[in-house]
Amino acid sequence: MDFINAILVLLNYTIIPALTYGSQLALGAIFVTLIYGILRFANFATGDMMSFGTMFAVLLTYYFQSLGINLGIFPTALITIPLATFMMILYMLSIDKFVFEYYRIKKSPPVQLAMVSVGVMFVTQAIIRIIIGPADRTFLDGEKFILKASEFKEMTGLNEGLTIKSTQAITILITMIVVSIMFWFLNRTKTGTSMRAYSDNEDLALLSGIDPKKVVLITWIIAGILATVGGVLYGLDKSYRPFVYFNNMLPIFAAAIVGGIGNPFGAFLGGYVIAFAEIFLTYAYKKFFTYILPEALEPNSMMQILSTDYKFAVSFSILVIVLLFRPSGIFKGKTL
Amino acid sequence: MKQYLNVITAYLIMFTLIILVGVFQSWSLALTILNYCLISAVMTIGANIQWGYAGLINFGIMGYTALGGLAVVLVSVAPVGEAWSVGGLNMMICLGVIIGIVFSIRFTLKKIAKSKKRNYLIAAIIIIGILLLRLISAPAIESIEAVEPAKTGFLGGLGLPVLFSWIAGAFLAGGLAFVVGKVALGLRADYLAIATLLIAEIVVSIIKHEDWLARGVKNVIGLKRPAPYEINLQQSPWFIDLVEKFHSGKLALINSVSEKQEVLNQLVIDASSVYVKLCFTGLFLTVVIILLIVTQKALYSPWGRMMRAIRDNEEAAGAMGKNVVKQHLLIFILGSAIVGIAGAMMVTNDGLFTPGSYRPMRYTFVIWVMVIVGGTGNNFGAILGGFVVWFLWVEAAPIALFFINLFTAHLPETNEIRVHLINSAPYFRFLVIGTALLVIMRFRPQGILPEKIIKN
């Protein structure tokens, strides 16, 4: 019995939150890695682009709510995703047209493009703050919990309850759907194959008649979908605040590099590696050990490896270690 | 002379703008902007050494700035005796343990051949070391933080004059740069950018959360100053006399004695803040000029030529027998140390250390915009960039407000769009800076004052 309780504690406070957070990071990391692999630059505007898409979802949610449209037990934000994605893709394509295209045609070094993306970051941040302001916003409605701790306790008669928030289930489910469609597209369709070819060797791809404009267009479309979905899921689960999205860029970068930059599947797994490391290393295991250890051995400290203040520092340290010992990432990416 | 014409014109325009602020807003504000411009200039000199001379991307400027600020606390604050007596010994032992870990790792790396066994040994040393550190430091930290938590709760500093901290800041930042450079400089440019950005975040999060070191997010206030305090100035007779002489014409027009006294008091209060800021301006200007002379000399010395050669073609420079790795490390340390000085200067200027305020937006990306807008590889350009971008950063909001009012003048006062735009005026600074960066990158990628190579 105690053993099941211990497992439940872990599930509740580490595994389920880590899976959720990992899914959100994974979507962002695939976005980073696609831009890096195909457009060949580190996009420092990642966090703010995600925030931009989410902003539309938030505004549309408020609008729909005022019209009285909702999805019942599901959050209204889900129906706003397609529209928000559309706006996001439009924004990305216009940014590409007016800013990035010039440097791509000139074949500027990646560093210069990264610098340009810093400029895009500033501008995007300004637009977001002018439109929606820097305040913290929650836009979650509908049923909050799928399974409440008290219900679970009644059902099973255990000491520990299992809580599953609806946002956690939605996040994991939608991530799986989006990511599998994307991998199917990249691996099984002709356009996807041509994108991979372009990423592997640009000259050979051009030689074999792949249209670079089309590849770039499709890349931004996929990027727009990933950014918006990732941003909205994060916003639903926590809350929407532009500054936090900018900060999220850092663990997202860490996930992309840990997974081997340029390798979408690596980025996907990298998101979970970072999320699990962050949560496992900063969780206080006291309750867990009180269940599994005999009473005599019960711990009296918090049994916490690192204070939660260092959550971000964990992912960065992992990144630094990976960069030092395996610079191409855990799952072979582009060589550095 | 002719070749410096554009430099002189650019600087003249810049100073005219600052003087205009003094005339139209207030002299105190103009001097605040000027002081921050000078601090930014020091940061850009540091970043320009790394990026302009050697082509190294350092997105970790925030971390070095924060370390410079930390140096001010560690050097100038009086030591907290009680905290030292309850926890000082343990913290010193911890320092010893850290040194022990470093040396034993170095020893292992030297003596044992590369193998799996060595990796495990190093991992074991680190894990045992960290466990030992936590065991020793945990009770000490608790008791240090319990010493008057509202006022102190930290070890305090050395109690030395604050100007020493500028040098200490350089050393702290340079030390971190040595470690970072050793591990990260082998990476390709954009990875170096990301790695330094993340390492800076780690540094700032340590400063934020280790309360025993510098009170963390509880901030340290009332730091020492290298300039007199306003309140003392307002009471010293020589200063009042000086203000009276300065404004004698204006004061002579007022007849009633009590009114005259009142006006004089107000003038003294205004003048005291201007005087203090002028003192800071003088100090900062000295630092900027010294750095400018040194960096200019270095840029046109054989060493500067070698750095440019390494930047433009690493392999060729390597083939000529130049030690690229060593020079990169050196320039990384030098640039970061200068940024550390700037960080210490900034905290000295503010008189308070607020770790929570170190954010990559303000302390890394804005500085980079300064370097790129000003002119990479040109010290005058970098300093000018510091001035221009800081000026824009501060004055963007008032200017945006002016334009918003101009364009929405036909709308009623309570119009929702107008109110919303007026409330979001501060965020136009991001727009202005971002657009400035994009425009410069597109149409004048070498910056306002491009790099000049003097051949003799």
CA gap A334, A261 in Å, rounded: 6
**Which percentage of chain A shows pLDDT scores above 90?**
50
- Predicted local distance difference test score (pLDDT) of residue B455: 61
Bridge partners (DSSP) listed for residue A240? A137
Distance of CA B46 to the CA centre of its chain: 10
Between B69 and A151, the higher pLDDT residue = B69
Is residue A326 very low, low, confident or very high in pLDDT (cuts 50, 70, 90)?
confident
Mark yes or no for CB contact A312/B205 under 8 Å.
yes
Task: Nearest chain A residue to B364 by CA: give it.
Answer: A118
* Residue A62 pLDDT class (50, 70, 90 cuts): very high
**How close A23 gets to chain B, by Cα (Å)?**
21
Torsion of CA B209, B215, B219, B225, to 10 degrees: -130
pLDDT in tens, B404-424: 888 888 888 788 888 888 888
**Residue numbers in B near A49 (CB within 8 A):** none
Total number of domains in chain A: 1
Cβ count near B417 (within 10 Å)? 10
Within 78-107 of A, beta carbons closer than 8 Å to B belong to 99, 102
Phi first, then psi, for residue B254 (nearest 5°) are -90, 130
Within a 10 A sphere around the Cβ of B339, how many other Cβ atoms?
34
pLDDT given for residue B144 in this prediction: 85
Cα A249 to Cα A43: distance, rounded to the nearest angstrom: 10
Query: What is the rounded distance in angstroms from the CA atom of residue A211 to the CA atom of residue B388?
Result: 43
Quick check: A334 pLDDT over 60? no
pLDDT in tens, B285-323: 999 999 999 999 998 899 988 998 998 888 899 998 889
Residue of B nearest to A319 (CA): B195
Task: Say whether pLDDT at A333 is over 60.
Answer: no
Residues of B in contact with A39 (CB under 8 A): none
Whether chain A has a CB inside 8 Å of the CB on B442: the answer is yes
B60-89 residues touching A, CB cutoff 8 A: none
CA distance A274 to A322: 12
Query: With pLDDT > 90 as the criterion, what percentage of chain B qualifies?
Result: 40
- Say how far apart CA A182 and CA A190 lie, in whole Å: 13
Residues from chain A that touch B424, judged by Cβ atoms under 8 A, are: 129-130, 133
**How many other CB atoms are found less than 10 A from the CB of residue B456?**
3
A122 → closest Cβ in B197, B424, B437: B437
Contact across the interface for A130 and B372, Cβ inside 8 Å: no
Could you tell me if B432 and B278 are in contact, meaning their C-beta atoms sit under 8 angstroms apart? no
The CATH code of domain B2-79+156-443 reads 1.10.3470
Per-residue pLDDT for A336 more than 50? no
Give tens-digit pLDDT for A107-130: 988 888 999 999 999 999 999 999
CB < 8 Å to A309, chain B: 205, 208-209
pTM, full prediction: 0.90
**CA–CA separation, A89 and A185 (whole Å):** 18
Q: Percent helix, strand and coil across chain B, each rounded to 5?
A: 80, 0, 20
Q: What Rg value do the Cα atoms of chain A yield, rounded?
A: 21
Q: A224 is in which domain, residue-wise?
A: 2-325
What mean pLDDT comes out for the span B241-264? 81
Q: What is the pLDDT of residue B295?
A: 92
C-beta of residue B49 within 8 angstroms of C-beta of residue B127: no
Q: Which H, E and C letters describe B155-218, residue by residue?
A: CCCCCCCCHHHHHHHHHHHHHHHHHHHHHHCCCCHHHHHHHHHHHHHHHHHHHHHCHHHHCHHH
| pLDDT of residue B29 exceeding 80 | yes
Q: Is residue A330 part of a domain?
A: no
Rank A1-5, B35-39, B304-308 by mean pLDDT and report only the highest: B35-39
Average pLDDT for residues B188-197, to the nearest whole number?
85
Interface test with A, best of B194, B212, B399, B416 (most A CBs within 10 A): B194
Residues of B in contact with A328 (CB under 8 A): none
- Shortest distance between the Cα of A158 and any Cα of chain B, in A, equals 35
At residue A184, the pLDDT reads 94
Residue A332 lies in a domain: no
Judge whether residue B217 has pLDDT over 60.
yes
pLDDT at A263 over 80: yes
- Dmax (CA) for chain B in angstroms is 91
Q: Does the beta carbon of B209 lie under 8 angstroms from any beta carbon of chain A? A: yes
Residue A334 within a domain:
no
DSSP code, position A62: H
- Which of B331, B454, B456, B449 is closest to B14 using CA atoms? B449
Contact state of B184 with A310 under an 8 Å Cβ cutoff: no
Q: Is A105 part of any domain?
A: yes
The residue among B441, B442, B446 with the most chain A CBs within 10 A of its CB, best to mutate, is B441
Does residue A220 have a pLDDT over 90?
yes
How far is residue B105's CA from residue B338's CA, in Å, rounded to a whole number? 30
Q: Are B352 and B338 in contact (CB under 8 A)?
A: no
Q: Is B402 an 8 Å CB contact of chain A?
A: no
Looking at the domain assignment, is residue A333 inside a domain? no
Mean pLDDT within B352-357: 91
Please count the CA atoms within 13 angstroms of the CA of B445 that sit on its side-chain side.
11
The backbone torsions φ and ψ at residue B104, rounded to the nearest 5 degrees and listed phi first, read -65, -35
pLDDT at B243: 84
List, for residues B76-85, the tens digit of each pLDDT value.
988 888 888 8
Q: Which pLDDT belongs to residue A332? A: 65
Task: Name chain A contacts of B133, Cβ cutoff 8 Å.
Answer: none
Please give the share of chain A, as a percent, with pLDDT higher than 70: 98
Residue A328 — pLDDT band, cuts 50, 70, 90?
confident
Q: Which residues of B touch A133 (CB under 8 A)?
A: 423-424
Work out the mean pLDDT of chain A and round it to a whole number. 88
pLDDT(A290) > 70: yes
Indicate the residue type of A167.
T
Question: Chain B closest CA to A143's CA: distance in Å?
Answer: 33
Alpha carbon distances (Å) from A233 to A65, A76, A224, B270: 18, 12, 14, 53
Residues of B in contact with A134 (CB under 8 A): 427
CATH number of the domain that residue A150 is part of: 1.10.3470
The interface predicted TM-score (ipTM) is: 0.89
Buried/exposed code over B100-109 (b: 16+ C-beta within 10 A; e: otherwise):
ebeebeeebe
CA angle, residues A199, A205, A206, in degrees to nearest 5: 120
In total, the C-beta contacts within 8 angstroms joining chain A to chain B are 123
B295, B379 in Cβ contact below 8 A? Answer: yes
pLDDT band at B454 (very low <50, low <70, confident <90, very high): low
Our CA-based measurement puts residue B204 at a distance from the nearest CA of chain A, in whole angstroms, of 10
Distance (Å, whole) CA B86 – CA B94? 14
Residues of A whose CB is below 8 A from B434: 119-126
Over range B435-452, report the average pLDDT. Answer: 89
Asked if the model's pLDDT at residue A335 lies above 60, the reply is no
Least confident of A50-59, A319-328, B387-396: A319-328
Name every chain A residue with its beta carbon within 8 A of the beta carbon of B183: 320, 324
Residue predicted with more confidence, A57 or B159: A57
Given an 8 Å threshold on Cβ–Cβ distance, is B431 in contact with A309? no
